[in-house]
Amino acid sequence: MRAIEPFSFRTRLKNPMSKCERRQPWTEAQMEVRTQIEKEGERRKRCNEEVKRRRKEKGETGEMES
């Protein structure tokens, strides 16, 4: 482990901006992915709520169909 640490430190000193340059476009992509995941999560929650409501309604009217 000790042999790897100074090497990574040296590379950081050589090109400190490379990491930031790599990171910026990726964070934009990550934000897009996050918004997509959040939207999917909201959809799933809505679907689950609808399914639960339907099951409750069926349970009240037609007792244990499954």
Domain ranges, ordered by start, for the chain = 27-60
pLDDT in the model for residue 58: 83
SS3 at position 2: coil
Model pTM above 0.75: no
> For residues 27 and 19, is the Cβ–Cβ distance under 8 A?
no
Alpha helices in the chain, H assignment, sequence order: 4-14, 16-62
Chunked into runs of 10 residues, the chain (66 residues) has average pLDDT values of: 52 57 66 89 92 86 53
CA distance 13 to 56: 63
pLDDT in the model for residue 42: 92
Q: Which two tokens stand for residue 54?
A: 């339907």
CA distance 11 to 36: 35
